[in-house]
Amino acid sequence: MANEPKKRSITGKLVANVLTEREDDFTCNVTYVANRSIKDLCRIRAAKGSKYTAAEYESMYNDLEETAKEEMYSGSTVEFGFTNNSLGVDGPFIGPGAAFDPAKNNVSIRSTTRSVFREDLKSINVIISGVEENLPTITTVTDVVTEKVNSQLTPSGNLNGEGKRVKVVGSEGSTVGFFFINADTEEETAVPKTSVSRNDPSFFSFTIPQLAKGYYYLEIATQYGGNSKTVLKEVRRNRFPYKLRVGEDEERPGEL
């Protein structure tokens, strides 16, 4: 029918979920086909016969983004892009007379998917193209300073980890190693090779970089193929699924 929505689809590969004991438990990693910046989107839209040029689209977007920031930073909830956005305050406030303390509290952006896009997502078809083999998989990380598991990071302290195929190996010119990805900004911080003190197939240890307060994902990239003689042709990169926090613990006295 003429009014039928365009059928869209994405492709993904199954990845063994080693965080559970079931051998038949998998998760799906989407295979991304491109990385589109705002400039790319403006160029693509202009090329479709629009009355605006790519530069004009970008200028309008920048103006809208600036207005959205001004409104959100002043306490409004703002519909922008795929999400509704607002500011929140993280960290503990102990007692009714507590004030905002930059050492314990921070302002963060909270985003929720707009309802119109939640409906769109229901119509996207997912094609499983196979099983992803030989992915390095982190199963547990322990912050040595706090002894907390899968939750905390202490900059300049050590992080001990366990997993499968987590030995960092790379051919010349390949980007391999451990990386912290800021959960809000996607900014990447690499762990220097000189900070890694243990680099085994099932265990690793390194000194945590000087990360700013916030939440991070840990990713590993390697060409390790399962034994000392096997180096994969391509770098395999995988993300530890838990968010890791830098900063004060949000637990309050008396809470479990």
pLDDT of 201 reads 93
Cα–Cα distance for residue pair 250/245, rounded to 1 Å: 10
Reported as a single tens digit per residue, the pLDDT across 124-172 is: 999 998 877 778 989 999 999 999 999 999 999 999 999 989 999 988 8
pLDDT of 44 reads 95
Identity of the amino acid at 170: G
Q: Which residues contact 103 (CB under 8 A, 6 or more apart)?
A: 248
Q: Mean pLDDT across the chain, nearest whole number?
A: 88
What's this model's pTM, rounded to 2 decimal places? 0.61
Is residue 251 predicted with pLDDT exceeding 50?
no
What is the band of 33 on the pLDDT scale with cuts at 50, 70, 90?
confident
Give the residue among 18, 13, 62 at the shortest CA–CA distance from 42: 62
pLDDT of 1 reads 42
What is the band of 20 on the pLDDT scale with cuts at 50, 70, 90?
confident
Q: Higher pLDDT residue, 190 or 232?
A: 190
pLDDT of 221 reads 94
What Rg value do the Cα atoms of the chain yield, rounded? 22
Reported as a single tens digit per residue, the pLDDT across 86-118 is: 999 998 999 999 999 998 899 999 999 999 999
Supply the DSSP symbol for 145. T
Per cent of the chain over pLDDT 90 is 62
pLDDT of 252 reads 38
Cα–Cα distance for residue pair 152/143, rounded to 1 Å: 6
pLDDT of 89 reads 94
Give me the mean pLDDT over the 36-47 stretch: 94
What is the band of 185 on the pLDDT scale with cuts at 50, 70, 90?
confident
What is the band of 18 on the pLDDT scale with cuts at 50, 70, 90?
low
**Which contacts (CB < 8 Å, 24+ apart) does range 103-111 have?**
103/248, 104/247, 104/248, 106/213, 106/214, 106/247, 108/184, 108/214, 109/72, 109/85, 109/184, 110/85, 110/86, 111/83, 111/84, 111/85
